Amino acid sequence: MKIRELKIYGYGQFINRHIVLHNAPASLFYGQNEAGKSTIMSFIHSILFGLPQKQQTDSKYEPKEGQVFGGAIVAEVSGTGIVKIERVRGRSGGEARIDLPDGQTAGEALLREWTGGMDKAFFQSVFSFDLHGLQQIERLNEEEIGKFLYVTSMVGTDAIYKLEQRLGKEQDRLFKPNGKKPALNEKLGKVKKTADAVKAAAQAASEYHPLMMQKEEAEREVFQLELNVSEGRKKQSYLSRAVSYLPLLREQEALTQELEALPDTKCFPAEGMNRLEKLLTEMEPLKAQTGRMKEQIRQLMAKAEAFKPDGNILEKEAHIVELKEQSGTYQALINDRSALTSAIEALDEELAVLAGRVYEQPPRQEELSRIDTTIKMKTTIAELTEEAKTLFMQKNQLDEQFDRAKEALDISEIRYASLLEKAMNPDERTALEQELSNLEKGDNHQQTGQLKKELESVERDLENQRKRSENSKKRSSASLMFVLLIAAAGCIWSVIQQQWVLGGLLFTGLAAGVLFFRSLQTARDPLLEHLRRRKRDLEQELQEQTNPSTTVLQRLEELKGILWKDEQIKQMAELERLRTEQETRTCDRVIAKYEEWENERFKLNHKLKPVLKALFLPETASASSLAETLAIIEKYKEKELEKQKREDQNRLNVTDALQFEQKAASTLNLTRDDLPKKIDDLYSALIQEKEKARKLEDLDLRINELSAECEERLLLLNSKTEDYRKLLEMAAAPGEETFRSMAVQHGKREEIIKQLSWTARQLQTSHIAQALPEDWTKLEDDLARVTLDVEALEKQLKSRQEQVSILQAKLEALEADGSYSDHLHRHELQKEDARRTAREWVVQTVARDFLLRTIDYHRTVRMPKLLEKTIQFFTRITDGRYVNVYLPDQEQTFIAERADGQRFKAGELSQATSEQLYLSLRLALISSLNESLNMPVLIDDGFVHFDAKRTEKMLGILQDISAEQQVLMFTCQTHIANQFAGPVTALERQGIVSVRKETV
């Protein structure tokens, strides 16, 4: 079985969900906690093996809001095909409904056949496993781990391991051969002690045994009387049941007498009354139908008289149809004639426009038609046009070259003039050279004295201005502080009086005053600053004058630089003069090329003259427009040709129209005026006459059909009438009333026969009724006699029972007199209690022995093959680190052999390796069961402790297993989802939201 689709109507958090697995052999469901992985796994269990009941733990998956609890699985079953297994709460107690490929349905029995008769617990223990098995390993010690893995190899879970442990503990709790504390050991000791006490007490009771013998004899008589009463009651019961059949026998006798009193109706036909009613029911409609048909035939024949067609029009049908078919062509000719006339006029106008685009005074049409528009003329014009275009481009290039040369010449002349202006005149250069000569000879003492006097004057002015500035600041500060104090007092008063507007204005003025006061303190006097700068400049200049060597050297360098710069300007001016002469020569060369261009232009005009003459163009026409002119002329000639064609077509249309008019006149005597309308009217009349003829033909056909049908109805009516006569004849009835009376008698007779048949069946179903004697009327007397005998036996039984009670009372009195009764009673109670405990111990012992025999059978028969498969899986998961797994003799555990030869018991392996051995055993068990049960494998987070390498190996094993049976995995581990090679269905807490690798 392979699951293809999950249709969840309502299960847990999923409502109306549809999950498609397609044909993938292995699929993985990935999602976080509470995403619904365990819900889907439980859903598969519930659909295959039954929905959980209210008291079961899985009932938590029932929808909380009243939706339908259940769903369906679409699966592929070997030998059957695609089936749908549906199970919902409330329908047939939640039983499965299976829709088969052939459209039939099946139920729970077929599903159990497919699942091999297993229940949910067995499926979960073998084919469906999760973290529970791994967590069991974590909770066990070293000795218990091996035994747990061993019993897991049997049915996939630790159920046998737990059962064997529980049976052993329960067996030891009840009895041990040499024990004292077990329950059965204690009870056997107590029984031995009370037995000794009973023997001692019995010796003291001498009268007890005779009474006991009398009591036993009385009890035997009571037993025999009880047997006799029982036999009497059985006979009484038999006779009572036999008497209960007497009413049936009496009724059978009465029905037989009544049947003999009725007349014999054996000749009455079977179902005679029904056949009579049926014939009468069929004959009445036939009579009515034949009458209606005769009336319809009469009406149709009267209507046919009104549809006789006009024979003259029908005789000319061929001519009318021919003219009708050609009338469209005739109308088109008339329309084309008008259209052609308009087109010819439009072409005349277009020809005039084309001629006007080329000529001011167009030549005659014949001359234009003779203009040469051959390829030779087009080639000549193309060459002339190309040559004119070349000359035009040369002219543009010459203009550009001349403009560039002229521009360069103007720039050069401007630069030359500018350099001449920048250069010194001879007098100025002579003065600088003289100053340079003087500085090289001595210094200037008079200039130093003037600088000192100016410095003293600036110092006096600076001191006076500083004093005036300080006095002005003091006066302004005092006035401003007085105003600020008044404003502050006004602010305080406004706050006290709650004059907020006035207070806000005063506070704003106070803040502005403070800012102005700060700016006044930091303000500088511009005149004072100017005097300070002038003092610094004079001091620096005086210092330079007092050091004549430095100042003279600086002046000397300055004069030399000015003279050198002037010399450079003169050299640059000379270079610009030479460049101006070069640009002048360039302009001369461009002017010479202009003369060559004029010569080429003259030659081109000479070639143009014959072409212009051939095209009837003036000599002033431009060569560049010749191609366009020739194209217009060529188009003119095309339009002229088109005009001639339309004129020829117009003449042909006139001829065809005239022929059509002559034909209409000769065949139908129709004139030219409004000829198409006349033909249409005549064709409409033809259609009407043909319609009359068709209707007349339909009426004749309908009359014939009704006549034939009427004949059939008459024949059928005659046949039914004959059947009616034969039916009366069969019953030997002269008329219908007699027939009906006989039918009533026959019905009574049939009813009595049915009742007799029912009575006979009731009597035949009972062996008592069949065994009754022929003289069954004496059964009631026999029953009365047996009843009296039973009552007498019951009285004797009661008397003997009273005697037994008296003897029992005497024995009890004797037992009450001594300790014998107490000891005996206590002894019997302890014996019974010991027997119960012994039976319980025997049950536990037999169950444990059977379980151990089953485990031993599994060890000797199934384990070798299972162990071989386990070694393959375990070696592959551990990547060859472990190469073998052994099962020691007389031990319920496993030994794993590593590749280096070291061996470890199952309890000595690491946690993850123990889990890998556990999974290898489970997969080997699944592989062995797959030979008979091909069920899907469900794994929920079985690799949480595996490293990346062994996880990859495990996924590879599952991919190989999926080739033979389907594997469905559930995980919340992202790395497992990324490594999985098959389709992965991603889940979130609200349902399915996305799919990776393949649409699911």
Q: Worst-scoring range by mean pLDDT, 674-688, 886-900, 953-967?
A: 674-688
pLDDT in tens, 282-315: 888 888 888 888 888 888 777 777 666 666 666 6
Cβ of 578: how many Cβ atoms within 10 Å?
A: 10
**Three-state secondary structure of 942-973:** CCCCCCHHHHHHHHHHHHHHCCCCCEEEEECC
pLDDT in tens, 38-86: 888 889 988 888 888 766 665 578 887 767 888 999 998 888 889 999 9
According to the model, what pLDDT value does residue 820 have?
A: 60
Q: CB under 8 Å to 732, separation ≥6 — which residues?
A: 267
Per-residue pLDDT, averaged over 397-406, amounts to 82
Cβ of 314: how many Cβ atoms within 10 Å?
A: 14
Q: For residues 255 and 753, what is the distance between their CA atoms, to the nearest angstrom?
A: 8
According to the model, what pLDDT value does residue 332 have?
A: 74
According to the model, what pLDDT value does residue 919 have?
A: 83
What is the residue-averaged pLDDT of the chain? Answer: 76
| Residue 76, amino acid | E
Of the CA atoms within 13 Å of residue 872, those in its CB half-sphere come to 15
pLDDT in tens, 809-852: 777 765 665 556 666 677 677 777 777 777 777 776 767 666 66
Q: Residue 636: in which H helix or E strand, if any?
A: helix 626-668
Strand, helix or coil for residue 354: helix
What are the b/e assignments for 902-936, b being 16+ CB within 10 Å?
eeebbbebeebbbbbbbbbbbbbbbbebeeebbbb
The burial of 90, by beta-carbon neighbours within 10 Å (0-12 exposed, 13-18 middle, 19 or more buried), is given as exposed
More confident residue, 33 or 323: 33
According to the model, what pLDDT value does residue 91 have?
A: 60
Q: Which of 742, 795, 714, 843 is nearest to 174 (CA)?
A: 843
pLDDT in tens, 5-46: 999 988 888 888 898 887 778 888 888 888 888 888 889 988
Per-residue pLDDT, averaged over 514-526, amounts to 68
pLDDT category of residue 552 using cuts at 50, 70 and 90: low
Residue corresponding to tokens 């117009």: 650
Q: Is the pLDDT of residue 740 over 50?
A: yes
Residues of the chain by 3-state class (helix, strand, coil), percent to 5: 75, 10, 20
Q: Worst-scoring range by mean pLDDT, 280-294, 351-365, 876-890?
A: 351-365
pLDDT in tens, 251-272: 777 878 777 777 777 777 777 7
Q: Worst-scoring range by mean pLDDT, 204-208, 486-490, 744-748?
A: 204-208
Percent of the chain with pLDDT over 90: 2
Q: For residues 783 and 762, what is the distance between their CA atoms, to the nearest angstrom?
A: 22
Of 330-339, 540-549, 779-788, 956-965, where does the model show the most confidence?
956-965
Strands of the sheet containing 14-20, edge to edge, are 14-20, 2-11, 70-77, 81-88, 97-99, 105-106
Q: For residues 221 and 952, what is the distance between their CA atoms, to the nearest angstrom?
A: 86
Cβ atoms of 236 and 783 closer than 8 Å: yes
According to the model, what pLDDT value does residue 84 have?
A: 93
More confident residue, 512 or 844: 512
Q: Is the pLDDT of residue 763 over 60?
A: yes
Q: For residues 1000 and 466, what is the distance between their CA atoms, to the nearest angstrom?
A: 98
pLDDT category of residue 931 using cuts at 50, 70 and 90: low
CA distances from residue 910 to 789, 896, 905 in whole angstroms, order as listed: 87, 12, 11
pLDDT category of residue 991 using cuts at 50, 70 and 90: very low
pLDDT in tens, 81-101: 899 999 988 765 478 889 998
Q: CB under 8 Å to 843, separation ≥6 — which residues?
A: none
More confident residue, 602 or 881: 881
What are the b/e assignments for 425-443, b being 16+ CB within 10 Å?
eeeeeeebeeebeebeeee
Q: Is the pLDDT of residue 731 over 50?
A: yes
Taking the whole predicted model, whether its pTM rises above 0.85 is answered as no
Cβ atoms of 50 and 120 closer than 8 Å: yes
Q: Is the pLDDT of residue 992 over 60?
A: no
Of 115-124, 758-767, 946-955, where does the model show the most confidence?
946-955
Q: Is the pLDDT of residue 933 over 80?
A: no
DSSP 684-701: HHHHHHHHHHHHHHHHHH
Per-residue pLDDT, averaged over 426-453, amounts to 66
Q: Is the pLDDT of residue 528 over 60?
A: yes
Per-residue pLDDT, averaged over 462-490, amounts to 76
CA distances from residue 884 to 776, 869, 873, 887 in whole angstroms, order as listed: 88, 11, 10, 10
Q: For residues 728 and 741, what is the distance between their CA atoms, to the nearest angstrom?
A: 12
According to the model, what pLDDT value does residue 995 have?
A: 45
Q: For residues 593 and 601, what is the distance between their CA atoms, to the nearest angstrom?
A: 12
pLDDT in tens, 136-195: 544 444 455 445 555 455 544 455 556 666 767 776 766 666 666 777 677 777 777 777
Q: Is the pLDDT of residue 347 over 90?
A: no
According to the model, what pLDDT value does residue 641 have?
A: 78
More confident residue, 193 or 960: 960
Q: For residues 872 and 735, what is the distance between their CA atoms, to the nearest angstrom?
A: 98
More confident residue, 820 or 643: 643
Q: CB under 8 Å to 156, separation ≥6 — which residues?
A: 125, 126, 127, 129, 922, 925, 926
Q: Is the pLDDT of residue 785 over 60?
A: yes
DSSP 155-219: HSSSHHHHHHHHHHHHHHHH--TT-SSSHHHHHHHHHHHHHHHHHHHHTT-SSHHHHHHHHHHHH
